[in-house]
Homo-oligomer: A and B are copies of this chain.
Amino acid sequence: MPLTGVLRPGHCAIRVMEMGPALTHYVERLGMLKVGEDAQGRVYLKAWDEHDAFSVVLREADAPGLDYLGFKVASTQDLDRLEAALRAHGCAVERIPAGELKGCGHRVRFQIPTGHQIELYAEKDYVGTLTGNHNPHPWPEGLKGMKVCRFDHCLLYGPNLADTADLFMNVLGFSLSERVVTPDQQMVGAFFTCSNKAHDIAFIEHPEPGRLHHASFLLNTWEEVLHAADLMSMHDISIDIGPTRHGITRGRTIYFFDPSGNRNEVFCGDYTWYPDRPPITWETEQLGRAIFYHDRKLNENFLGVVT
């Protein structure tokens, strides 16, 4: 399949209350690399196995949360096409000029019905992974903390999930990989993929708009999930739940909070998604098992605490 259109979640811009503790968290604990900062004081981070210049942008603010989530698309032609499609769909679309984020080409920003700001962009400076593209070693020495490989996806909470699904599937070309439905067949949770991953973005129906449930980072193994959990205890990082398994996507996971209260996930593993299969359906009566396969019930934090 020629990989065209939206490729992947390419960056998330997270608000933090204080930059110092946030950097300790994302750099020393998660193991991301600080790759730059800009005149506004925003700090740019990337994980070691990412090729593009950055994937997380931290901004000091009075309240935590997600400023926007950006998806990389395969080409500027695709970007123009998708911008036109968004406008045709009735979205208010804003063009952010190239360079507003250092090293990133122009971005096409729009608000989705859940109230989140989503961006598309086609160009970002290429810096390569820490292992390079020439006789590479399988991993680099000297990584810190949890040694996250890659920013992977976000789970967002907000209203109007049906309209959001329509936008992601029919305008942006995502597929629905898994969904949670009520007894009367209303979809209250939706997991979308623009790749062979089981999810690239996910939503839970929620009355408040624009909420971040978590930003998720990839690990390689269940051993690394344990290693991450141990580090959280060593450094008094607040754990939400885990280590555990998700029913949805089969991931092995742990949830925790950054010093500003933004939830993070580190996880490994899912299955290889292909578009010639139906989505997996979970009933709300099985929501506990769907989310936390072992506990089979949701903790209050998981449902209620968002930023």
Contact = CB atoms under 8 A, between A and B. Distances in A.
Interface in A237-293: 239, 242-245, 247, 250, 252, 254, 269, 271-272, 274-283, 286, 289-290, 293
Query: A interface, how many residues as a size bin?
Result: 35 or more
A302 interface: no
A62 interface: no
Interface in A95-137: 126, 128, 133-137
A164 to B, nearest CB: 18
Contacts of A126: 276-277
A101 to B, nearest CB: 17
Contacts of A128: 277
A59 interface: no
Contacts of A275: 2-3, 7, 74
A290 B137 CA distance: 9
Given A74-B275, A135-B283, A195 B1 contact: yes
A274 B8 CA distance: 9
A135 B252 contact: no
A138 B294 CA distance: 11
Contacts of A280: 133-134, 136
Contacts of A250: 138-139
Contact of A222 (B5, B133, B226): B226
Contacts of A186: none
Contacts of A230: 137-139, 245, 293-294
A276 B7 contact: yes
A182 interface: no
Contact of A1 (B3, B242, B243, B245): B3
A3 B223 contact: no
A179 to B, nearest CB: 10
Contacts of A39: none
Nearest to A289: B233
Interface of A: 1-8, 49, 51-52, 72, 74, 126, 128, 133-139, 141, 149-150, 173, 175, 194-197, 220-223, 226, 229-234, 239, 242-245, 247, 250, 252, 254, 269, 271-272, 274-283, 286, 289-290, 293-296
16 contacts: A1-B6, A2-B173, A7-B274, A7-B276, A74-B275, A126-B277, A133-B278, A137-B247, A141-B234, A196-B196, A196-B197, A197-B272, A226-B245, A233-B296, A243-B243, A254-B294
> Which 3 A-B pairs have CB atoms at the shortest separation, nearest pair first?
A2-B173, A196-B196, A138-B250
Given A1-B7, A139-B250, 18 more contacts: A1-B74, A1-B194, A2-B275, A3-B175, A52-B276, A74-B275, A126-B276, A133-B279, A134-B280, A135-B282, A135-B289, A138-B293, A141-B234, A196-B197, A220-B269, A223-B223, A229-B294, A243-B243
